[in-house]
Structure 1
């Protein structure tokens, strides 16, 4: 029997039981993909990251309870937190090599972890406009599609708070998930994220969605530094910068547990 160190971290918050929980498994070498999927299903969190620290970088893969995904912002932040606290304590910058999203970097700035991610390119979406409006119970002002997700924009954050999507219908959309966003009353913009097709009805805080959100709101508000609140039950705060073809998404993190998996 072998053991794998595991950490559970609440990302994009400094409050325990807030933000988005991610599991981080630290590996010495590759393990079978089916085992990674089984561990992620057993954890039953939005994301489990599998990290192999190496000289100068770490490889990383992300799994939901149902499938592997190309990119996960909160699990990357959680992985950098674990490396900085328990594995490579003197580092203030971490480089992650992903199979599906290229190279990612995280810079540690006091208690903030700043992710540098590839910016998304949005295009207007007409084909699924009616379906999205029906699913959400509200007609968006605009609807876009990016690399993996749809993004519906509204003009009032109260609409987002009251929204109760039809999850079964949402899972049938041609997208990984659906981002909804609006101008914020106490921040630059607010958002929620739904992805039942990959086993996550509502993600508490979604770093990867901000690769779509930040370029849009940066242009809309004519500013490059923005603050986002995700209006899930757990809530989260993200400090963002539009860097052109890259997006910086920063947040805090707090440790919930550490232990071992026996396989």
Structure 2
């Protein structure tokens, strides 16, 4: 398979800058699992999405450099941009390993805009032992946490451990041992650590270590944004229906994600952003 058929798109860009790069391969049929894993490792982005026609939409699978993941938000946004570029703007149904979602894509001059409807969302408290391990991983203490938003395990197509901190400076100084982080994530089925700071009720800063996928940190994580949206709904946070998330700023790849939150328990979250083609 020719690698030039792989589109390289930065999803959740801040205008023409930043965003999280994803590979997108649109094919008549999906390559074999080992081949998709090999291609994803060679592309080297945190995820590559593989799409092939299926029923009334597209079968999609997501691969990080080291593992397959059940759902990836930024690669879905990139896929929406790629589908809009190749087949025209509109809504596309995507069939995942577990269920189906939709993505809308539209070309806007040099950028694409895309929105996805996440899988169902839910959240639950973090077991005390796991919380202690996670805090130790980042060298944090319970006093660093935002008491308005207790730590949680949140799900929106994949599992994310949400740790809200009181101060933006704590987030900026984040560091951890990647091998230890990977082991902790594997032991507890965690896809990313969703580390956030609430600047205001409707504006969050986020960092997302993704050690289990072989990536130290993601500059934009749509799946974690969806999980965070479901968590904020469950906490009855005063989100007023929409929240802006700034991610990647501390790694030089500022990204913007917008989530729309309904009050429906367990409902999906709409995650939106722009995308730019990487030349």
TM-score higher than 0.5: yes
Count of aligned pairs between the two proteins:
253
Q: Give me the whole-angstrom Cα distance separating, in 2, the residues matched to 1:221 and 1:198.
A: 33
Bigger helix share: 2
Q: Give me the whole-angstrom Cα distance separating, in 1, the residues matched to 2:44 and 2:257.
A: 24
| Match status 1:225 vs 2:235 | no
1:254 maps to what in 2?
Answer: 276
Q: Are the equivalent residues in 1 in contact too, given 2:226–2:259 (CA < 8 A)?
A: no
2:260 to 236, 241, 256: 241
- Structure 1: which 4+ aligned runs deviate by more than 6 Å? none
How far residue 118 of structure 1 moved from its aligned partner, in angstroms, is 2.0
How far residue 97 of structure 1 moved from its aligned partner, in angstroms, is 0.8
1:210 maps to what in 2?
Answer: 225
Deviates further, 246-255 or 148-157 = 148-157
How far residue 15 of structure 1 moved from its aligned partner, in angstroms, is 4.2
Q: Are the equivalent residues in 2 in contact too, given 1:117–1:211 (CA < 8 A)?
A: yes
Q: Please, which runs of 5 or more residues in structure 2 have no aligned partner? A: none
Q: Give me the whole-angstrom Cα distance separating, in 2, the residues matched to 1:199 and 1:18.
A: 21
Q: Give me the whole-angstrom Cα distance separating, in 1, the residues matched to 2:201 and 2:255.
A: 13
1:157 maps to what in 2?
Answer: 168
| Match status 1:40 vs 2:40 | yes
Residue 158 of structure 1 aligns to a residue whose secondary structure is: helix
Residue 34 of structure 2 aligns to a residue whose secondary structure is: helix
TM superposition score normalised by structure 2: 0.84
Q: Give me the whole-angstrom Cα distance separating, in 2, the residues matched to 1:96 and 1:246.
A: 15
How far residue 122 of structure 1 moved from its aligned partner, in angstroms, is 1.3
Deviations 1:238-261 (CA, angstroms, capped at 9, x unpaired): 11111331100000001114xxxx
TM superposition score normalised by structure 1: 0.89
Q: RMSD of the TM alignment (CA)?
A: 2.0
Q: Give me the whole-angstrom Cα distance separating, in 2, the residues matched to 1:159 and 1:209.
A: 19
1:107 maps to what in 2?
Answer: 104
Q: Give me the whole-angstrom Cα distance separating, in 2, the residues matched to 1:232 and 1:94.
A: 33
How far residue 32 of structure 1 moved from its aligned partner, in angstroms, is 1.0
Q: Please, which runs of 5 or more residues in structure 1 have no aligned partner? A: 258-263
Q: Give me the whole-angstrom Cα distance separating, in 1, the residues matched to 2:258 and 2:36.
A: 31
The 5-angstrom pairing of residues 1-263 of structure 1 reads: 2-3=1-2, 5-16=5-16, 18-54=18-54, 56-86=56-86, 88-89=87-88, 91-100=89-98, 102-108=99-105, 111-125=112-126, 126-139=128-141, 140-141=145-146, 142-147=150-155, 148-173=159-184, 174=188, 175-184=190-199, 188-218=203-233, 219-230=236-247, 231-233=249-251, 234-243=253-262, 244=264, 245-257=267-279
Q: Give me the whole-angstrom Cα distance separating, in 2, the residues matched to 1:38 and 1:169.
A: 24
